[in-house]
Structure 1
Amino acid sequence: MAKTSPAEFINQVRAEARKIVWPTSRETVQTTIMVIIMMTILSLFFFGVDTVFNAIVSWLTSLAR
């Protein structure tokens, strides 16, 4: 692998940094809203699954008494 000089490395970093496409503020807001919605849906789902498993385990442990 060929070694690059520090100046060439800086030039390569600048060239790559120019390729970055930043999201608009509207895209950022939309993405944030979608993340909050998905987080809420998943938290409710896992709360439900946890509640069902808790009920099953409680029922099974009551049988052992």
Structure 2
Amino acid sequence: MARTNPLQFMQQVRAETSKVVWPTRRETLVTTVMVFALATLTAIFFFLVDLLIRTGLSGLLGLF
């Protein structure tokens, strides 16, 4: 594999970085809100599943 000197490497890094399309402030905000909303919905879902399983097992073990 060919080695490049540090100057060429930095020039290549700058060229590649200039191709990056950074998200706008609005896109970042919307994505952040969606992550928090989906994390909250997931937490509620697993809480309800846990509650259902706990209630079912308590009822089942209460019969014995």
TM-score band w.r.t. shorter chain? 0.7 to 0.9
Provide the alpha-carbon RMSD of the alignment: 1.6
How many residues are aligned here? 64
Equivalent residue, structure 1, for 2:12: 12
TM-score under structure 1 normalisation?
Answer: 0.78
2:29 corresponds to 1:59? no
Percent identity between the two aligned chains: 48
2:47 corresponds to 1:47? yes
Structure 2 segments unaligned to the other structure (5+ residues):
none
Structure 1 residue runs of 4 or more that deviate by more than 6 Å after TM superposition: none
Structure 1 segments unaligned to the other structure (5+ residues):
none
Shift of 1:15: 0.8
AA aligned to 1:62 is G
